[in-house]
């Protein structure tokens, strides 16, 4: 069972994961991101289930472009789906300081919806510390739930408890990449970035034409200071145009290196899970052997309690992943 947590930089996503899992994942300060790549929490138990949380960078990250973020998230989810791993739920965090969902937040939420697909919104939790004027009506109409987090362990556990009983489902981007064999740029989420790139390219072309016209005027007027300023502005605009072009080309790539990395990680996780299952089985056999020779009622009770815990852990199945 997998749960995914997503939100923009500075939303408290990593802090939430550390609180409930007891981990020490790196947390950014202010709006500076520390989650430049996927971080994995330590395993913990909740409602007799083995839970592992995965923290990924959010869109509008301070150290990576949105193209790279989409590539990382999509590569991870695609690899997970190829390993028959589905999501039991998704947690989307509304930043406490966001009283109103502005331009960036609205755009990030659109990306979130395109990653999930409206069919899986019934497994979505919209988590917030404040009832603001948030435009999540579409998600709520499709079955998402809105829950408040009070920055306490109890409220964090209550939120996860609402998710762990869900029926795991594939996200839209997982179906697009794995079943429909689409390229990243052809997915619904990739389409949002492609449209943004096209709009920016058109705007930059218009801005460049205006700069060229202004440059002709100042050259004719022999205004050296204005010419110097316009030359600097043109360099900056050219650099921005190159960045947009590079991101557009990157979105069209297959992210094979990212996928290979996650393939290795999943293999390592499966090996670790098999080892843990083997260790648990040996512990169970040991405890059963001790139980047969026990004479103390107190010792019998303690051994039976430990046995029950190990047996529950053995039958939990896959852990929960919070991304």
How high is the mean pLDDT of the chain? Answer: 78
| 139 — pLDDT class (breaks 50, 70, 90) | low
Q: What is the pLDDT of residue 29?
A: 46
Domain ranges of the chain: 2-183, 188-251
CATH superfamily of 2-183: P-loop containing nucleotide triphosphate hydrolases (3.40.50.300)
Q: For the residues 189-202, what does the mean pLDDT come to? A: 94
- Nearest-5° angle of CA 111, CA 81, CA 318? 110
Q: What is the pLDDT of residue 294?
A: 57
Kindly report whether the global pTM for this prediction surpasses the value 0.85: no
| 15 — pLDDT class (breaks 50, 70, 90) | confident
Q: For the residues 38-46, what does the mean pLDDT come to? A: 78
Handedness of CA 282, 283, 284, 285 (dihedral sign): positive
pLDDT digits (tens, 9 = 90+) for 229-268: 999 999 999 999 999 999 998 888 877 888 888 888 777 8
């Amino acid at each position: 069972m997998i749960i995914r947590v997503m939100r923009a930089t500075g939303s408290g996503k990593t802090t939430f994961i550390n609180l409930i899992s007891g981990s020490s994942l790196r947390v950014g300060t202010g709006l500076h991101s520390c989650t430049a790549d996927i971080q994995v929490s330590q395993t913990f138990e909740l409602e007799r289930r083995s839970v592992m949380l995965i923290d990924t960078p959010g869109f509008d990250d301070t150290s990576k472009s949105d193209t790279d973020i989409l590539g990382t998230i999509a590569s991870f989810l695609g690899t997970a789906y190829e390993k028959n791993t589905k999501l039991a739920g998704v947690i989307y965090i509304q930043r406490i300081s966001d009283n109103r969902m502005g331009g960036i937040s609205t755009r990030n939420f659109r990306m979130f919806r395109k990653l999930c697909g409206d069919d899986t919104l019934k497994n979505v939790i919209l988590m917030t510390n404040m009832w603001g004027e948030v435009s999540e009506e579409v998600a709520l109409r499709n079955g998402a739930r809105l829950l408040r987090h009070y920055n306490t362990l109890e409220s964090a556990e209550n939120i996860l408890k609402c998710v762990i009983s869900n029926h795991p489902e594939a996200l839209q981007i997982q179906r697009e990449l794995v079943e429909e064999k689409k390229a990243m740029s052809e997915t619904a989420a990739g389409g949002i970035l492609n449209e943004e790139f096209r709009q920016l390219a058109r705007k930059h072309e218009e801005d460049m034409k205006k700069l060229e016209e202004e440059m002709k005027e100042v050259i004719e007027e022999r205004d050296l200071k204005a010419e110097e300023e316009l030359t600097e502005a043109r360099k900056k605009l050219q650099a921005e145009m190159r960045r947009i072009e590079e991101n557009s080309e990157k979105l069209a790539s297959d992210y094979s290196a990212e996928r290979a990395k996650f393939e290795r990680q999943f293999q390592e996780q499966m090996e670790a899970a098999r080892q843990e299952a083997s260790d648990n089985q040996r512990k169970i056999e040991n405890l059963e052997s001790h139980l047969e020779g026990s004479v103390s009622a107190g010792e019998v009770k303690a051994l039976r309690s430990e046995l029950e815990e190990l047996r529950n852990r053995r039958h939990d199945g896959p852990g929960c992943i919070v991304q």
